[in-house]
Amino acid sequence: MTRTIVASATREIVIGFDQPFCVIGERINPTGRKKLAAEMIEGNFETVIKDALEQVAAGATMLDVNAGVTAVNPNETEPPLLVRTLEIVQGLVDVPLSIDSSVTAAIEAGLRVAKGRPLVNSVTGEEEKLEAILPLCKKYDVPVVAISNDETGISMDPDVRFAVAKKIVERAADYGIKSHDIVVDPLVMPIGALGSAGQQVFALLRRLREELKVNTTCGLSNISFGLPHRHGINAGFIPMVIGAGMTSAIMNPCRPQEMEAVRAANVLNGTDPNCTNWIMTYRDHKPAEGGHVVAAAAPAAGGGRRGGRAARAGAAARAE
């Protein structure tokens, strides 16, 4: 069984097919958040602290930490800022962290200070990236997110994306990194732009699980880009990717609808034993709309003789 182990100083988490879905909180990331970027440049970490606490309180399994505040001189500015951000976050919460940067020097600086066993986010299939990132992952014995694009960009052909993922897994093996330490991101396209984006990713996830036997992740909300009511699309996408074998996602845990979908999919996927987490979370849930409970027939779980209508009795115990 594929097990990717990540850890903070005090807490170990397993990412795996038989584990609850790993929610990697995406909020600590100044990309597209001008106010946060400005704060971080000024050395103001109030929003970082708030985002860290809120995401963990909302149920994040891990936190992604990105300090990419500027495209100007990132090789100089990003390493110290990422180090400072990581130190603040790991001093505050006890979940494992993901060190997120496109700057190799920042990844390395982060690895030097991160406690436990962080996840590196990310390597791609580009030669330059492979040669820069994989030795670091080996040196620090940490798992890495492998994004399935390369020098030619992001292929619209899922077979090519699978081949890139396979190449990264093989190259990692050359460096002595086991496939259970590669978490493949098959890349999720916006369904509003590419109608087959869902089917592509479901098929890719099955292949990655069955053929490469690797854990997987994605930037989840990308699927709903450009559509109205994105949370509804995201909340439908989560059970589908979990059903297809995805084991983690970089997402916003502060969205109740998405987190409810994660919890429901864990129940249905058999990774919330006895539905304990579901029941603890929703035992006092009040329906948003009116309705009443019917006197329900026993569910059709017994082994007795049952004909058409009787076999349906469980279905008749509907949630009105």
Report the site for its own copies in 70-89 (rule: CB under 8 A). none
Binding test (CB under 8 A) with its own copies, winner from 54, 84, 88, 232: 232
Q: Interacting stretch for its own copies, rule CB under 8 A, among 45-53, 55-63, 167-175, 272-280?
A: 272-280
Residues in the chain: 320
Pairwise CA distance, residues 160 & 22, whole Å: 26
Taking CB under 8 A as the rule, does residue 228 contact its own copies? yes
Q: Which of 79, 132, 133, 136 is nearest to 110 (CA)?
A: 79
Q: How many angstroms separate the first and last alpha carbons of the chain?
A: 40
Largest CA distance in the chain: 73
CB-nearer residue toward its own copies: 5 or 227: 227
Taking CB under 8 A as the rule, does residue 134 contact its own copies? no
CB-nearer residue toward its own copies: 10 or 34: 34
DSSP state of 180: G
Site for its own copies in 285-304 (CB under 8 A): 285, 287, 289, 294-297, 299-304
Taking CB under 8 A as the rule, does residue 26 contact its own copies? yes
CB-nearer residue toward its own copies: 44 or 196: 196
CB-nearer residue toward its own copies: 9 or 310: 310
Site for its own copies in 38-77 (CB under 8 A): 66, 68
CB of 161 to its own copies, least distance (A): 12
Which residues, listed in sequence order, are joined to residue 121 by a DSSP beta bridge?
100, 145
Collect all residues with Cβ–Cβ distance below 8 Å to 161 and sequence separation of at least 6.
Answer: 148, 149, 154, 155, 186, 187, 204
DSSP state of 273: G
CB-nearer residue toward its own copies: 92 or 192: 192
CB of 34 to its own copies, least distance (A): 7
| DSSP labels, 18-69 | TS--EEEEEEE--TT-HHHHHHHHTT--HHHHHHHHHHHHHT-SEEEEE---
Q: What tokens does 80 get?
A: 């110290």
Site for its own copies in 238-257 (CB under 8 A): 238-240, 242-244, 250, 252, 255-256
Pairwise CA distance, residues 96 & 87, whole Å: 12
Q: Interacting stretch for its own copies, rule CB under 8 A, among 1-9, 111-119, 176-184, 312-320?
A: 312-320
Pairwise CA distance, residues 305 & 313, whole Å: 12
Binding mask 177-216 for its own copies (x = CB under 8 A): ----------xxxxxxxxxx-xx--x--------------
CB atoms within 10 A of CB 22: 25
Binding mask 154-183 for its own copies (x = CB under 8 A): xxx---------------------------
CB of 225 to its own copies, least distance (A): 4
CB-nearer residue toward its own copies: 95 or 250: 250
CB-nearer residue toward its own copies: 11 or 267: 267
Pairwise CA distance, residues 39 & 209, whole Å: 40
How many residues lie near its own copies (CB under 8 A)?
114
